[in-house]
Each structure stands twice: as C-alpha cells, then as structure tokens.
Amino acid sequence: MPRESVFGERIVWQGHPEVTKPPALFRGLSAIAFVTAAISGSFACVIGAGLGSFPVAPLFFTLWCIALGVAVTVLPRRWAERARYIVTDNHVVIEYGPFTRSIERRAISFARIFWNEDAPNTGDLEVVRAVPTGALRRRLRLRLNGLVAPDRVWAIVRGAEAVAPAGIGERPVGQRLDRGETVVWSALSRPKWRNFVPQGQREWALLAFAAFLLFGVLRMVLRVVPVMERLAAGALPVRSVAFFALSLGLVLAMLLMVAVAAYLAYDAVIRQGLLAKDTRYLITNKRVLIQRRGEELHLDRAKIFDVIEAPAGDGLRHVFIVIDGPRARAVAASGAFGEMARGPYLRPVFEAVEDAEGVSRILRERPLPEAA
C-alpha cells in the first residue's frame, strides 16, 4: 500500500482540487485593484491633457495596480492547483509543493462543508480541532478546497465511508445521513430583530469603518462640487478630455468607497440577520448537523462534553456546545465562555431555539445506538 512521506502512514485516500476558484477575499481585492488602476489612469490623463506634462508617477501606479490585480487573481489559482490532499490512517495532510500542514484525525472536533454554487456537487471541506479557551486559545483547522463530493471525503476522514451515502450536494443534509442514522430532534432558528444588531468587536469595527468611508464620500462631494464648478468656468472646459477624465476618476473613487462601505455593512449586519432565518438544526443518534444555505457543520455527538444555555430574548435560548478532545476542551469560538461574536461561519451553537431544555437533555445523553 502507498505510504505518506512525512508520517510514513498508509494512505487511505488522496486527491486534489477539482475546482480552483480564488477565495472571495482575493476576488474582492482584485476588483479593488482594477478600479484603483482606472482611477489612477484617469488622473494621469488629466495631468497629461490638462497640464501638458508626462504623468510618470500616476502611470507607474496604474501599471502597479493592474499587476497587483492580475497577481491576486492568478497566483492563488496556481497555488491551489499544486495542492495535494492525503488522508492516512491517523492524519489529514495538505501538501503545497514543499509546504505541508496536517491534523490528527482523532483530534478533529467537527467539520464544515461549503458547497460551490457554480459547480454542482463540489465544495470545500474544513476540519477544525477544538482548542483550549482563555489564554491558551489558538486556531487549528485545515481547508480542502475544490473537492468533488466533500461530504464523502469527510465520511472517509471520520471512518464512516462504508455507511455514508453518495455525496449529492443538492439534497438537504437530513437526506444524506449514514446508513442506520436517524433524526431524533430538528428545528429552525427563530429570526429576531436582534439578529440585525452588530455583535462583537469584528462587526462593530466593520460597521465603524463603513461609516468612516461614507463620511469620506460626503466630504468629497461637498468639496469636489465647488472645485469642479470653478475649473469648468476657467482652466478646464466642460467638453474637454481632461475635464471628463477628472470627473470619471472622482466618480469612480466615490463609487468604490460607497461599494466597499455597503459590502462591509452588509457583511456585518444584514447578511447575519438574513442567514439566521435559513439555519436548520438536526440531532441524530450519532451526530449534530447544522445547515445554513450552502454551508454545513457536522459534529460527532461522542465529542460533546457538556452544553451551556444562555438567554436569547423573546423567550428563546442559545445552546452552546462544549467539545472535548485530546489535550483540549471547548472551542474558542463556540460562545460558551462569553464569546458572543458571531463570525462569518457556522459554530457549534444552537441559536435562538424554543426547546432549549429538550436539546440540552438530548445532547447530555450518550449517543443512541444505530438503528437496525
């Protein structure tokens, strides 16, 4: 049997990305770089046509922005194409050329699956290890991008490939249970107006930065309009190329700031509130499953140490799951120890449920045996 080079263990599965799509962050940075290049090019045209001098610095900055946008688009794709994913008897390994990252299979606390909307039945698998909370908290997770049937790969990692169904991402998670696995409890998160209120430092910081950008746009409008009127009356005729280029550059700059501010506000407040109503919780005789649109969280009930309830308002309660693991207990981002920041991804938390007492009682029990 083939063996992995780092640990010398038997390889039970290996693969590579089938879809090499740059992350959303890099796509956003690429768009900002290209728009900034257009703004700088417009100002270079103003200097050349209006002042009659060669715009060395603006042209250099324009070329630099274009190169940055191309690099941010191409390099992550080329880097992802070199990835190789390996599952051995004891480890999950990602190899990027000479660089290697790994995590013990028995130390994995839960997994997240992100289905790709553009390529059916493909997505990313992220395995997360529970870490100590408090001063010892740290982040340990691996993300396998661009997999075909990532839920099947997760079944291999957790040692259930013999009973797991064929991965079909179009089906709800409740229709992709293991053989002999049954649902014992399910519910939907109750949407509340508080879901649209920022929570935690991250969301408040994003909202504050969005407000700062909008304030900057307002100051630009108040200052630019009188200046453009004076230029149109004297140095730059309205129908000149320089006036058009200057107007285009200023409009693009303001639109870019408004777009960034709108995205930050949407990500911090609106998106979180809209996603809350699409979250579904399931407890089976083996696992805890949470689904929110194209994102899923899979947690083995055997790894649950305890649950903690907290009031959520309107008679609802949050149920935080404390996870046990090798040399670690509790997930730092679980919220069970006061971290109420929601974050961009699913957490092992049942938010705003009515039957919190029933959920806690089920999760504190030992997992039920598989159905015949």
pLDDT tens per residue across span 26-71: 889 999 999 999 999 998 888 887 777 788 888 999 999 999 999 9
pLDDT at 168: 67
Q: Which fold would CATH assign to domain 111-126+141-191+277-364?
A: PH-domain like (2.30.29)
| CA-to-CA separations, 92 to 10, 86, 170, 297, in angstroms, rounded | 12, 6, 26, 18
For 324, the token pair is 């046990």
- Kindly give the confidence (pLDDT) of every residue in the chain, 372 residues in length, as a single tens digit, with 9 standing for 90 and above: 577 666 778 888 998 888 888 788 888 999 999 999 999 999 888 888 777 778 888 899 999 999 999 999 888 888 888 889 999 989 999 988 788 888 988 888 899 999 988 888 888 999 988 765 544 455 678 999 989 889 889 999 988 887 777 666 667 788 888 888 889 998 887 777 777 777 777 788 888 999 999 999 999 988 888 888 887 777 677 777 888 888 899 999 999 999 999 999 888 888 877 777 788 999 999 999 999 888 999 999 988 888 888 887 777 888 888 887 665 555 444 444 444 556 678 888 888 888 888 888 988 887 655 544
pLDDT tens per residue across span 285-333: 999 999 988 899 999 998 888 888 888 777 788 888 888 766 555 544 4
Going from N- to C-terminal start, the domains of the chain cover: 24-81, 111-126+141-191+277-364, 197-275
